[in-house]
Amino acid sequence: MTRKLKIGTLTIGGRAPVRVESMLKERLSSAPEDMEKCRAQCERLLCEGCELARVAFPASELEKPLKWLIDHTSLPLMADIHFDPDLALAAMRAGCASIRINPGNMPLHKLTEVIDTAKGGGVVIRIGANGGSLAGRHIEQAKGDSAAALFLAVKEQADLLSNHGFNDIILSAKSSSVPDTVRANGLLSREYPDLPSHIGITEAGPGDGGVVKGASGIAVLLSQGIGNTLRVSLTDEPEREVRVGYAILRSLELRQRGTNLISCPTCGRRRADVMKLVKLVEPLISGLPDGTTVAVMGCEVNGPKEAAHARYGIAGTPVGAVLFKDGAMVGSYDFDDLPSVLAEFFGH
């Protein structure tokens, strides 16, 4: 168990659940329309269950827009800082309760004021190293081992903060390589077992490939007990990142937000078009209590018996489908009647 940190009202580490986060993809600027787009994206993320969002903070003139955004959303924000420690100071002046600094591009000799300011303001610092921005000295020290270089980059800054009496730290080492990311985080977990970590696969990409790449790395780390916050980095809307994040946690039975929809992959035994059944069911189950399992099965082989644990179930028959609830049969129905029957079945 790691130490417990607070970002505003959000608890990270300790006995807190694994938190799901994302990053704003709208550009923060002083233009009113951009500020409103950022605020609206925060609200959409909140609706999806996002618990923390990073926001790019590349220029000091964005201090006022950042403060405005912090004041106009309840979503906890983390300012994403690169290159210039003065930007970290500006973000903290704006009221940001957490900042991310990248050890690959942050001068060590200028961090003392950042540390002192964070310590005085109760600000959490994430040390976030990326495989694409490693300093040459770390790569040389690691003799070209990318995972070891990631570990060394984070370690250098973690030790600097700790030596200054600052321990409200989240560690993060990400690469576009799943094996490198897993190994770097394993090294960090052994070196700093008491510090919370943020996990993910950076630049995972778009579509199914990005989802699979992100999920494979995140799931391996979580199964090893590593990770207190996660982000699924997709070339997609941030809302999808959050949905996929919760799907990973559901699959590992770590969190239960949303409905657990299980369905058979279909085969030659199918009695009904499972894909059509899924399309009928999906719009009707979004309002069910978190963790509710709904099963859509194609035939009697993997129907009520295999899905007996489901709260609600539907299985194909030669003439339509049977519905079952908590393992007990509810009735048999023609396919043409299913839209209205399912609406009533799910309480609509």
Q: How many residues does the chain have?
A: 348
d(CA 296, CA 313): 6
Q: How many CA atoms lie within 13 A of 107 on its CB side?
A: 8
Burial of 240 per CB tally in 10 Å (0-12, 13-18, 19+):
middle
- Phi then psi for residue 295, to 5 deg, are -115, 135
Q: Could you tell me what percent of the chain has a pLDDT over 90?
A: 82
Nearest Cα to Cα of residue 256 among 292, 224, 310 = 292
Q: What is the mean pLDDT of residues 270-276?
A: 86
d(CA 171, CA 271): 51
For residue 344, which amino acid is it?
E
Question: What is the CATH architecture assignment of 5-251?
Answer: Alpha-Beta Barrel (3.20)
Q: Is the pLDDT of residue 108 over 90?
A: no
d(CA 171, CA 13): 12
User: In which band, very low, low, confident or very high, does the pLDDT at 348 lie, cut at 50, 70 and 90?
Assistant: low
The first and second tokens of residue 180, run together, are 């490198």
Other Cβ atoms less than 10 A from the Cβ of 94: the count is 20
Rg (CA), the chain: 23
Do residues 316 and 338 touch, judged by C-beta distance below 8 A? no
The first and second tokens of residue 75, run together, are 């979503």
Domains 5-251 and 260-345 share a fold: no
Nearest Cα to Cα of residue 220 among 240, 190, 200 = 200
Q: What is the mean pLDDT of residues 189-193?
A: 98
d(CA 114, CA 88): 7
pLDDT at 289: 94
Domain boundaries, the chain: 5-251, 260-345
Instruction: Sort residue 180 into left (φ over 0), alpha (ψ -120 to 50) or beta.
Output: alpha
Q: Which CATH number fits domain 260-345: 2.40.30.10, 3.60.40.10, 3.30.413.10, 3.20.20.100?
A: 3.30.413.10
User: In which band, very low, low, confident or very high, does the pLDDT at 307 lie, cut at 50, 70 and 90?
Assistant: confident
d(CA 20, CA 53): 9
Q: Is the pLDDT of residue 308 over 90?
A: no
Mean residue pLDDT across the chain: 94
Q: What single string gives the DSSP state of each residue in 212-266?
A: HHHHHHHHHHHHTT--SEE----SS-HHHHHHHHHHHHHHTTS---S-EEEE---
d(CA 324, CA 315): 8
State pTM to two decimals: 0.92
d(CA 85, CA 96): 14
CA 170 to chain centre: 15
For residue 115, which amino acid is it?
I
d(CA 47, CA 31): 25
Beta-carbon contacts of 239 under 8 Å, excluding residues fewer than 6 positions away, are 22, 44, 45, 48, 50
- Paired strand residues for 321: 316, 333
Helix or strand holding residue 154 (H, E): helix 146-163
Q: Is the pLDDT of residue 5 over 90?
A: yes
Burial of 145 per CB tally in 10 Å (0-12, 13-18, 19+):
middle
Q: Is the dihedral of CA 203, 209, 210, 216 positive or negative?
A: negative
Q: What is the mean pLDDT of residues 134-146?
A: 91
Other Cβ atoms less than 10 A from the Cβ of 202: the count is 20
Q: Could you tell me what percent of the chain has a pLDDT over 70?
A: 99
